[in-house]
Amino acid sequence: MRVQIVDPSAFTPPYDHALCAALARAGAEVELVTSRFAYGGVSRADGYAVSEHFYRRARGTPGSRLRRASKLLEHVPDMLALRRAARNADVVHFQWLAMQWLDGYLLPRRPVVLTAHDLLPREARPGQARAQRRLYDRVDAVITHSHYGRRQLVDRLGVPAAKVHVIHHGAFNHLVTPPEPAEVASEPAGLPPAGPRPEPAGLPPELAGLPPEPAGLPPEPAGLAPELAAVEGPVVLFFGLLRSYKGLETLLDAWRGVSGASLWIVGRPLMDLAPLRARADASVRFVPRYVSDAEMHALFTRADIVVLPYSRTERFDFSGVLATALAFGRPAVVTDVGGFSEVAQAGAARLVAPDDPAQLREALSDLIADPAARERLAAGALAAARGQYSWDAAARQTLALYQRLV
Clarify whether residues 137 and 19 are in a common domain: yes
Q: Would you say the pTM of this structure is higher than 0.75?
A: yes
Clarify whether residues 394 and 294 are in a common domain: no
Clarify whether residues 159 and 52 are in a common domain: yes
Clarify whether residues 371 and 227 are in a common domain: yes
First to last CA, the chain: 9
Asked whether residue 362 is assigned to any structural domain, the reply reads yes
Asked whether residue 75 is assigned to any structural domain, the reply reads yes
Asked whether residue 145 is assigned to any structural domain, the reply reads yes
Q: With cut-offs at 50, 70 and 90, classify the pLDDT of residue 295.
A: confident
Clarify whether residues 160 and 265 are in a common domain: no
Residues 170/390, Cβ–Cβ less than 8 Å: yes
Residues 352/246, Cβ–Cβ less than 8 Å: no
Clarify whether residues 246 and 360 are in a common domain: yes
Residues 295/268, Cβ–Cβ less than 8 Å: no
Tally of domains in the chain:
2
Residue 289 sits in a domain whose CATH number is 3.40.50.2000
Asked whether residue 193 is assigned to any structural domain, the reply reads no
Clarify whether residues 300 and 341 are in a common domain: yes
Q: Domain residues for 96?
A: 2-170+390-405
Clarify whether residues 208 and 125 are in a common domain: no
Asked whether residue 183 is assigned to any structural domain, the reply reads no
Residue 342 pLDDT? 97
Q: What average pLDDT does the structure give for the chain? A: 87
Predicted confidence (pLDDT) per residue in 135-152, tens digit: 999 999 999 999 999 999
Average pLDDT over residues 69-87: 93
Predicted confidence (pLDDT) per residue in 6-40, tens digit: 999 999 999 999 999 999 999 999 999 999 998 87
Q: Tell me the H-state helices in 287-356.
A: 293-302, 320-328, 340-345
Clarify whether residues 256 and 162 are in a common domain: no
Clarify whether residues 135 and 275 are in a common domain: no
Clarify whether residues 250 and 369 are in a common domain: yes
Clarify whether residues 243 and 112 are in a common domain: no
Q: Please tell me the chain's helix, strand, coil percentages from 3-state DSSP, rounded to the nearest 5.
A: 40, 15, 45
Asked whether residue 81 is assigned to any structural domain, the reply reads yes
